[in-house]
């Protein structure tokens, strides 16, 4: 009767020729294999030698942005500051980024025109070009608000410079 049945398989603790043994545990000075990075991981940081190696930002119509600012009673302005600072940070690897811009816009918004203009100018400067706007451009916003058109002049200059930068890299708009 024993001829009719195959022999029982060896116990699991003994490796067989058909199954390879498990890899040894890491020893002293060795490290275990790292798990793969998740698909949602952030892009690698831009190295100092690279200029604007990140994604290109969006071109925003100045007139439409001003209209949205008015229609939404200023809420679009907060969104605008978040988006442009996030795009500049992703593109250049430098700057305050969208979240910090959002917090600053909500709590001490008066600094945003100065920061935004300075960062837009910094994009040009890192490429070795003349800065069309700088932190001083923010003076059109405040104290320029007292001549009523000051913030509009600031926005036209700063948004125009940012749009020109993105277009120089191939953005459509």
Contacts with 100 (C-beta within 8 Å, 6 or more apart), sequence order: 85
Nearest to 54, CA basis, from 62, 46, 64, 66? 46
pLDDT for 123 equals 97
Range of the domain at 158: 62-168
**pLDDT tens track for 23-53:** 666 665 555 556 665 554 454 554 554 566 8
Mean pLDDT across the chain, nearest whole number? Answer: 85
pLDDT confidence band for 7 (50 / 70 / 90): confident
Residue 173 covered by a domain: no
**Number of folded domains that form the chain:** 1
Residue 46 covered by a domain: no
Residue 39 covered by a domain: no
pLDDT confidence band for 5 (50 / 70 / 90): confident
**pLDDT tens track for 69-116:** 999 999 999 999 999 999 999 999 999 999 999 999 999 999 999 999
pLDDT for 31 equals 57
CA distances from 39 to 35, 43, 53, 130 (A): 12, 10, 20, 38
pLDDT for 173 equals 83
């Amino acid at each position: 009767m024993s001829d009719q049945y195959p022999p029982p398989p060896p116990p699991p603790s003994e490796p067989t020729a058909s199954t390879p043994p498990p890899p040894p545990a890491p020893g002293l000075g060795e490290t275990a294999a790292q798990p793969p990075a998740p698909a949602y991981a952030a892009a690698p940081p831009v190295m100092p030698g690279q200029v604007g190696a990140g994604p290109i930002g969006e071109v925003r119509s100045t007139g439409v942005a001003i209209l949205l600012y008015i229609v939404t009673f200023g809420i679009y302005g907060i969104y605008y500051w978040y988006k442009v600072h996030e795009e500049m940070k992703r593109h250049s690897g430098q700057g305050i980024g969208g979240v910090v811009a959002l917090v600053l816009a909500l709590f001490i918004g008066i600094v945003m025109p100065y920061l935004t203009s300075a960062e837009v100018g910094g994009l040009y400067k890192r490429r070795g070009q003349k800065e069309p706007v700088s932190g001083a451009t923010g003076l059109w916003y405040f104290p320029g608000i007292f001549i009523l058109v000051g913030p509009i002049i600031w926005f036209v200059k700063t948004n125009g410079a940012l749009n020109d930068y993105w277009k120089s890299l191939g953005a459509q708009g």
